[in-house]
Amino acid sequence: MSSTDASRSPEPWDETYDLDLEEVWQRVRQRGAKRVLLQFPDGLRDYAPGIAKLLTQRTGAEAVLSGEACYGACDTPSASALHAAGADLLVQFGHSPMPSVPVKDTMFVRAKYRMPIRPAIAKAVGELGLRGKRVGFVTTAQYAHKTDEAIAILHELGVEAKVGKGDLRIALAAQILGCNYTAAKAVEPEVDLFFYLGSGDFHPLGLALETPKDVVVADPEFGTVRLMSGLRDKVLRQRFAAIETAKRRGGKRFALLVSTKAGQFRLRLAEQLQRRIEAKGGEAVIVQIDTFTPDALQYFRHMDAWVNTACPRIATDDYAKWPVPMLTPPELEMVLGERAWEHYVFDEIAGDKKLHSPMFD
């Protein structure tokens, strides 16, 4: 049952999103929750007060709104934060769960876009000359429910589309994350390029960094289409500059940054990197932190570089704000002389095994 069932009047979000709020109310009642912590990404945060009010009206539970940023299912509050809020349940809106990430007392609610997709797809096929091509179709949780419709439209327009299933970090067919493109790589040998249905550059940019093949963006929200090759080349120049700056600073002293977020916690990787650095005569400290900011990291500014083991996009998307080179683990290998620039790879967080942490198990 969708968020626009006949038992209530349309809400502000109903024009753009289908939120299965009835399922939320049912889950809260079944659990007997007295207080629920609600978490929203920026695109849904304007609706948070209205949804909180509805939750209390429909279930009797008290709603508490999380003021923290939320970038994905990897970005859930820790168990201690949930307990500190006195909440029995966390409801995160806008994302699908990550099967490989163990989180307790959490419900994920996808925000399904309602807008039509045919105009953007047709525009991409026509303007970018895709007729007769084989494409790997990829999208996000917000558009995944439209995958079959998109494939049918592409077929009608003379484009053959392939859909892949990702690893255990991915919940839906054709879905990509900012840190995981295994659904795309599953069909990469069979396609000429990739076709991304969705808004923004965050997801298609990561895919463009992961594959040498072109990535087409068809954005139904704004009605725009584009190729990612220009932005990819710009970002790669920035990454080369960060690596070279770390070398010029000495390339010996590193702060290895470990996130406490459940879906980004990679302490074992940081420990492995520390041993490799020390084996080459370098120095490395492991710094555990929840949210990476220049202020929080200022006391480690004397290091030659910071190495981000959390969300890979912290290094690439926030390039300009770091006063010290922020590297990914593969980029650290380049500084250490273990990898050549010609073998540049994106730092994916794989879901082939679960991320374990005593804070979240």
* Domain 234-343 class, CATH top level: alpha beta
- Dump pLDDT digits (tens) for 66-109: 988 888 898 887 766 777 778 999 999 999 999 988 788 899 99
Helix axes 48-59, 21-31, angle to 10 degrees: 50
Instruction: Please state which of the ranges 58-67, 96-105, 149-158, 325-334 shows the lowest mean pLDDT.
Output: 96-105
Q: Does 5 score more than 80 pLDDT?
A: no
Task: Please report, rounded to a whole number, the percentage of residues in the chain having pLDDT higher than 70.
Answer: 94
Q: Does 354 score more than 80 pLDDT?
A: no
* Domain 12-111 class, CATH top level: alpha beta
For the record, the structure tokens of 142 come out as: 């917000």
Can you give the pTM of this predicted structure? Answer: 0.89
- Dump pLDDT digits (tens) for 264-301: 999 999 999 999 999 999 999 999 998 899 999 999 99
The residue ranges of every structural domain in the chain are 12-111, 118-227, 234-343
Task: Please report, rounded to a whole number, the percentage of residues in the chain having pLDDT higher than 90.
Answer: 76
Instruction: Please state which of the ranges 52-61, 73-82, 141-150, 163-172 shows the lowest mean pLDDT.
Output: 73-82
Using pLDDT thresholds of 50, 70 and 90, give the confidence band for residue 16.
confident
Q: Do domains 12-111 and 234-343 have the same CATH topology?
A: yes
Q: What is the mean pLDDT of residues 169-173?
A: 94
* Domain 118-227 class, CATH top level: alpha beta
pLDDT value of position 14: 83
